[in-house]
Chain A
């Protein structure tokens, strides 16, 4: 009797969740089953890494709740009654629905909602289909509805978003490579909790600390990252811009700014008209404004074009061609001078002596870098906060130097992909995720009747009642492709089982500066298919199969066509570094992509909103000065934990064993006032909604603040969900709208299980 030979293979692949850490992994496969995951090797061994979520992928792949077959809704939406159907029936249903809707409402009435559950380029095949069909694409790039205020601030200040720009080869946006923090003497982590959300950053930060760097963490919450700091600066949530202005005030008044950098590389000397607050421009022979901005040349005692000026004043008040004006830096001084230590302490809660010492340290302990992510992004005026930080970096001359500037998680870089997303130059209509909440129910600016959701779960975004009551009824047909019946999938008309990243080959980027291949390690489980395969089949039925007539590997071969990278090389070498100077530091050449070619801490686009400088405005909602605070006195934060990447992993059994259920965390002072003790069932509520869950008393939470970890699923709460409390207000000063979850007030009370 012959025994079936057992097989054992190790396959190099990639952990795709959008934490952006992009860990390379070695998948151990025994008899076709994934049995072990271990960190894969990189040419630079500091990148050999994994985290608890990466290791928990095995139980995610073999999770009992995986969607096994295509499911067609039979009950009411959300009722949870499904019929198993064949793939053929599913594809036919999609194509007939899409054809009908395109005929009746036009092609843009079919929309794709793109999430960020993975960044596999082939998994983005629906985007290519949206382009070919001239449909609507929601959530592309910065249109994701979150994480956009930092990149927008960077765009305003440096002329480039902080991630990669797809148009310039090797243009990485404004941030530096994380490993560059080893050149820093001071590292300031501001509004980020790397220890949980970007754990691999911490390795480099600890390396820097061992070399003598000091770590300062600014966060209202005593986070795991704050616990590692030499100095933790606790701050009232939403007041970071005020602190930054206070720091600017000290730095300016003590003369600690970098005059040379300000004069030569920023708009500091640019004259600003007192009347319009726009830059004062040279007039040409026809009396029209040219693009040349004037500066004050003290040697000639007159305004001259910045392009020809030998010297330029940064301060003072002038009359040029009869127009009263001041250098932009003077206007910054005028703004910052309002933020004396007393005002800053009163507003932010940061003691005066801490502000002063930190300001002096940041300006003199050069080079100093800032570690940023998205804690500051979840505020209505978040872009002003990031701009205030970029201003701090600029006036102290920390931009374009090793160990200076800022870093995020590893900066991403681009593949050769324009042709893939936008074939023959065709593009879909783009809709920002946040605008969807008005556009779909109101049919403005045009009707959207079908929605194909891939790689995402938009219930994480906002108020579930609003989605269920307003968005979903406006849609004739909803198809959701996912691995699990997420809250979004629950409300679909058709659910498609998507395979995991271990079950299909794809291409992604990172960690910087590497490109890695996501290699198929096991066959797709059950009847699942990849997003790519699903799209190909639908495209064929809609008569555009010609755009999808190559194999996955053929497409990948073209996507990786940069430097000397090939698919074969990737298969052989695993990780290939791009040809770049390391550590990567942005703006070493002091070349900025702004209209002026300089760092624009003074932004003309903001004049319309009175935001030409990074002014401080009290939080839109989350402020004790808000009238609403009488009724709802607590600021509600959603910190991100190490156990989730948004709503991914919230159902993972390995992780639930360590972190079994959600809690609202509250300072004991606030708990006592409300007679709340550990593990009491409480309701967190405001006029928009309510969530019920257990309370935990935590001294690390600032009094006046409550916190529920972002990412838990609605069914894991006793009632409701945390996003039922938040709003979708759009800040008109933002070019791209952004959710401001943290800018939110609530009250909390003890309750009983119903």
Chain B
């Protein structure tokens, strides 16, 4: 059965904020600087810092990545039509057509597109489309040390990932934007 929408689920209880996914993405995609997944601390002002007052504290981590929205805001915002959505629901930037104007950066509610100043283009997570072609999972999924990242077809109600979303009541970021993200988070 053809997959119409791939997606990711991040289990935030299992996410220990280790940045392994960030580094995996960086290496797999040959990025000189930065990564297409950024691990945010949800808590205090800086990395690994909680909110609250000692000892009443709380903190968790949230890996942030392109949401491969079913209703993407970046795509219509692109003046050169460089952004497309594949048959499998992956948002892809065509680096030949992209001018690096940054409209997608402004349009995206998730800070997903990263402007690469040396290449002069916007870049973001491809769900490791090059690995999917070979039947492999995205590299961040493979490398996550706590098994916190799940990948699969979210359009198929019977898929493992869809069951996980239902059973664990996974949520999306900024649902009010009506972007219909394909990236879900199991709350800590």
Contact = CB atoms under 8 A, between A and B. Distances in A.
B and A form one assembly: yes
Interface of A: 36-39, 49-52, 55-56, 58, 195-196, 199-200, 202-203, 206, 209, 222, 224-225, 227-228, 232, 234, 642, 654, 657-659, 667, 678, 696, 698-703
Nearest to A653: B33
Nearest to A663: B46
Nearest to B53: A699
A64 to B, nearest CB: 14
A52 B44 contact: no
Given A38-B139, A50-B145, A703-B54, A58 B27 contact: yes
Given A222-B59, A699-B50, A703-B54, A199 B139 contact: no
A642 B146 CA distance: 14
Contacts of A224: 16-17, 48, 59, 61
Contacts of B23: 52, 55-56, 654
Q: Which of A38, A196, A222, A657 has the most CB of B within 10 A?
A: A222
Interface of B: 13-14, 16-20, 22-24, 26-28, 33-34, 43-55, 57-61, 139, 142-143, 145-147, 188
B14 to A, nearest CB: 5
Contacts of A56: 23
Contacts of A209: 13
Contacts of B26: 654
A309 B78 CA distance: 87
A49 B145 contact: yes
16 contacts: A36-B28, A39-B143, A50-B145, A51-B20, A52-B20, A58-B27, A195-B16, A199-B20, A203-B14, A227-B50, A227-B58, A698-B44, A698-B50, A699-B49, A701-B54, A703-B54
Given A51-B145, A58-B27, A202-B146, A700 B20 contact: no
A199 B46 contact: no
Contacts of B44: 698-700
A667 B142 CA distance: 37
Given A203-B146, A222-B57, A227-B60, A642 B49 contact: no
Contact of A228 (B16, B27, B51, B55): B16
Given A195-B17, A202-B16, A699-B53, A50 B143 contact: yes
A203 B145 contact: yes
Given A49-B145, A199-B20, A702-B54, 13 more contacts: A36-B27, A38-B139, A38-B143, A51-B18, A52-B20, A58-B27, A199-B18, A222-B55, A234-B54, A696-B46, A696-B49, A699-B54, A700-B48
A228 B13 contact: yes
B145 A658 contact: no
B143 A678 contact: no
Contact of A700 (B50, B61, B145): B50
A708 to B, nearest CB: 14
Contacts of B55: 222, 232, 234, 702
A195 B14 CA distance: 10
A222 B24 contact: no
Contacts of B33: 657
A701 B49 CA distance: 9
Q: Which of B45, B53, B147 has the most CB of A within 10 A?
A: B147
Contacts of B45: 678
B22 A658 contact: yes
Contacts of A50: 20, 24, 143, 145
A196 B146 CA distance: 12
Contacts of A222: 50, 54-55, 57, 59
A665 to B, nearest CB: 8
Contacts of A659: 47
Contacts of B18: 51-52, 195-196, 199, 642
A15 to B, nearest CB: 12
Contacts of B19: 52, 642, 658
A199 B54 contact: no
Q: Which of B13, B59, B139 has the most CB of A within 10 A?
A: B59
A701 B50 CA distance: 10
Contacts of B48: 224, 700
Given A55-B27, A203-B146, A222-B57, A699 B139 contact: no
Q: Which of B13, B23, B34, B43 has the most CB of A within 10 A?
A: B23
B49 A698 contact: yes
Nearest to A50: B143
B147 A203 contact: yes
Given A678-B45, A698-B44, A199 B146 contact: yes
B136 to A, nearest CB: 10
A50 B23 CA distance: 11
B111 to A, nearest CB: 16
Contacts of A199: 16, 18, 20, 145-146
Q: Which of B44, B45, B57, B146 has the most CB of A within 10 A?
A: B146
Contacts of B50: 222, 227, 698-700
A703 B142 CA distance: 40
A199 B20 CA distance: 10
Nearest to A203: B146
A202 B19 CA distance: 15
Nearest to B45: A678
For the complex of A and B, 7 pairs with smallest distance between CB atoms: A195-B16, A55-B23, A234-B55, A227-B59, A52-B20, A199-B145, A222-B57
Contacts of B143: 38-39, 50, 55
A313 to B, nearest CB: 42
A654 B47 CA distance: 16
A200 B145 contact: yes
A195 B17 CA distance: 8
Nearest to B59: A227
